[in-house]
Structure 1
Amino acid sequence: MKKRIIALISFTIVGFLVWYLFIKPYDFLGSIKVKTFPGAINQTLKVWSNSLENSRVEFDSDLVNLTQHLSISDSSYIYKWKITPLTDSTSTIKVYVTDKSNSLINRITTPFSETAFEKTTKRTILDFNKALTSHIEGFKVSVDGNDTFKSRYCAYVSLKMKQSDKAFGMMNNYSFLNSVLIANGIELKGLPFVEVTKWDMTNDSIHYNFCYPIIKPDSLPKLNNIRFKKVEGFKAIKASYNGNYLSSDRAWYALRTYARKNKISIKNSPIEVFHNNPSTGGNELSWLAEIYMPLDEKSDN
């Protein structure tokens, strides 16, 4: 009986060592709890990664599982980020880190001392956490629930670009659109808005129309690069965003999280209505954008 117990203990120890040294899929596990939703974490992680040398994130439509390849000094690391929403406004992030070249030696030495690998990994995760905390302090999103986007006639320019460049596209065309319309005697009516016509979440790219509501004249002038149309109204879920318009797309993700939680079918074609002109400056947290995510009523039938 005693020999069996010793054999069982020995087998368990050997099995654990084999798993720990050769099978365990990571060398280090870090965990962070943050006060924001997965979409904001996803986008911040990509921006932060781009700010580092020799770092890239594999693009995927999966918002909550991201793989980052990072080289520091002579070592190459793989960071697997797993984001888990806890509530509408809180999430946990688990980071599974592997040193591709020194995995075995790290696993042998880590239990006995804090290795250079551990120090570097902790410092890197804390650096991201600092960047994320700074970012989420710069905006607010509140989901207002069901609403209706009212139809309006508009002049618009069509643009294609990375999601993160959306605000630059607006700024580059705001004065042009505004001045050309006024010069042609077209009366403006209402707030400018963005109509997203295609959202590629795998590549973080969008096609959108930057629109200015107008009073439709009896005859429309022919203008280079400017078109006219009626944007039809629709039922939607709505969010209010406060902050720099560079990050107003964070509200898109908040609405997706809300829709998923409440089992609401939506179309990934948001409209953003902008209440402030960034060129006038002021406290960015006082800037307001209203975000409308259309309901997919066909899928509910």
Structure 2
Amino acid sequence: MMKKFIIILLGVLLFSLVWFLFIKEYDYQFRFRANHSPAMVQQELKKIESYSIFDSEPAVSYQQTDGYDALKQTLQFGERELDLLWELENQEDTVTNISLNVASGEKIKNRLALLNPFSRSEYIDSLENSFLKFGKELLIKQSAYKVQVIDSIVYSPALDCICKPAEDIKVENKAMQMVRDIGYLEDFQIAHRLKLTGYPFVKIRAWDQEAGTIDYNFCFPVNLAQDIRPNTFIEFQQFPATTSLKAIYNGNYRSSDLAWHELLSEAKNRDLKTSNLPLEIFWNNPKTGGEALSWKAEIFMPVKPEN
């Protein structure tokens, strides 16, 4: 009986060793928490190369999402690679539990080092320090903005406006492009003595999420009921009111697209169809400065009304 038990035990141990060394997909797992929802956390994780957490700066050579609950990445450090699987679990509206699974190209070597009880793994120590640093930097970045989703479905405002179109702009460069284009709108407004009827806004016309690019109209709402004509740079547009999910974003407008993903996640959770083409209304002029967290933007994501 004892012999049979020992044989079974050895078989289980051998199978476990083979599974750990040769079959298990990832070498190690780290766990930590982040602020905000998985949708917003995932967007920050996509920018991992902008964090100063590694000795050498990586390039993201592969990236794949699974909704807003997971993200797969491959980080390239010269000829060395790290494969990452981020699993995101929404604990509450303002907290996300993150499980980070890591694998490297030297799988056997690193896993043997993990099994050695007499020495610490430099590989794991280095990763642990890097991702501990990442978690701290992530929390610092996340403290610079807030997003609040309004529970009820609302109507976006109907708007008559003068607009400066922009095409094939990287999402992260939207605010910079707006700074370049605002002079066209201001010059046209002043030249024709137009009075603003609301706050400046951006209406997204196309959004390629895989490429991370957008086409949009940057607009000033004005009264167009007068004898004026558009020019080479300025278009006249009318946007009707649409049923929408709404969020309030506070923070630097360079990151306001985080609210888009929050609204897309909300639409998915509520089984609402959306055009994925948000409207952003900016209440503050960045030229006047001030604490970015006090800046406000209203974000409207068009949806079909619930039955």
**What TM-score, normalized by structure 1, do the two folds share?**
0.92
3-state SS, counterpart of residue 220 of structure 2: strand
RMSD between superposed Cα atoms in Å: 2.0
Indicate the percent of aligned positions where both proteins have the same amino acid. 31
Query: Which of 79, 86, 89 is the equivalent residue of 2:84?
Result: 79
Deviation at 1:93, TM superposition (A): 1.5
Written as runs of structure 1 = structure 2, the 5 A alignment for 1:194-273 is 194-273=202-281
CA shift in 2, pair 1:222/1:36, >3 Å: closer
Find the counterpart in structure 1 of residue 12 from structure 2. Answer: 12
Deviation at 1:71, TM superposition (A): 4.4
Query: Which of 186, 190, 215 is the equivalent residue of 1:178?
Result: 186
Q: Is the counterpart of residue 168 in structure 1 residue 176 in structure 2?
A: yes
Write out per-residue CA displacement over residues 1-42 of structure 1, whole angstroms, 9 at most, x where no aligned residue. 333222211111111011011101111111112121123222
- Greater shift in the superposed pair: 86-95 or 64-73: 64-73
Q: Is the counterpart of residue 120 in structure 1 residue 104 in structure 2?
A: no
Query: Which of 53, 57, 62 is the equivalent residue of 1:58?
Result: 62
Amino acid at match of 2:59: S
Find the counterpart in structure 1 of residue 146 from structure 2. Answer: 140
Write out per-residue CA displacement over residues 68-95 of structure 1, whole angstroms, 9 at most, x where no aligned residue. 3334587432222222223332212211
Find the counterpart in structure 1 of residue 32 from structure 2. Answer: 32
Q: Does structure 2 retain, via aligned residues, the 8 Å contact 1:59–1:203?
A: no
Amino acid at match of 2:232: N
Q: Does structure 2 retain, via aligned residues, the 8 Å contact 1:192–1:213?
A: yes
Q: Does structure 2 retain, via aligned residues, the 8 Å contact 1:57–1:66?
A: no
Find the aligned partners of 2:107 and 2:65 in 1 and give their Cα distance: 29
Q: Does structure 1 retain, via aligned residues, the 8 Å contact 2:64–2:73?
A: no
Q: Does structure 1 retain, via aligned residues, the 8 Å contact 2:33–2:135?
A: no
Find the counterpart in structure 2 of residue 99 from structure 1. Answer: 104
**What TM-score, normalized by structure 2, do the two folds share?**
0.90
Find the aligned partners of 1:258 and 1:116 in 2 and give their Cα distance: 42
Find the aligned partners of 2:204 and 2:178 in 1 and give their Cα distance: 13
Find the aligned partners of 2:211 and 2:183 in 1 and give their Cα distance: 29
Find the aligned partners of 1:230 and 1:61 in 2 and give their Cα distance: 35
Find the counterpart in structure 2 of residue 131 from structure 1. Answer: 137
Q: Does structure 1 retain, via aligned residues, the 8 Å contact 2:63–2:74?
A: no
Gapped regions of structure 1 (runs ≥ 5): none
Write out per-residue CA displacement over residues 165-191 of structure 1, whole angstroms, 9 at most, x where no aligned residue. 111111111122112222133332211
Deviation at 1:270, TM superposition (A): 0.8
3-state SS, counterpart of residue 124 of structure 1: helix
Find the aligned partners of 2:240 and 2:184 in 1 and give their Cα distance: 25
Q: Does structure 1 retain, via aligned residues, the 8 Å contact 2:207–2:215?
A: yes
Write out per-residue CA displacement over residues 229-268 of structure 1, whole angstroms, 9 at most, x where no aligned residue. 1101111111111111111111112222222333333321
Find the aligned partners of 1:2 and 1:264 in 2 and give their Cα distance: 62
Deviation at 1:133, TM superposition (A): 0.6
CA shift in 2, pair 1:81/1:96, >3 Å: same
Find the aligned partners of 2:290 and 2:120 in 1 and give their Cα distance: 47
Find the counterpart in structure 2 of residue 290 from structure 1. Answer: 298
Find the aligned partners of 1:230 and 1:8 in 2 and give their Cα distance: 75
CA shift in 2, pair 1:139/1:185, >3 Å: same
Deviation at 1:124, TM superposition (A): 1.9
Find the aligned partners of 1:291 and 1:77 in 2 and give their Cα distance: 36
Q: Does structure 1 retain, via aligned residues, the 8 Å contact 2:251–2:294?
A: yes
Gapped regions of structure 2 (runs ≥ 5): none
Write out per-residue CA displacement over residues 21-68 of structure 1, whole angstroms, 9 at most, x where no aligned residue. 110111111111212112322222232314562321524454443333
Find the counterpart in structure 2 of residue 158 from structure 1. Answer: 165
Q: Say how many residue pairs are matched.
A: 298
3-state SS, counterpart of residue 58 of structure 1: strand
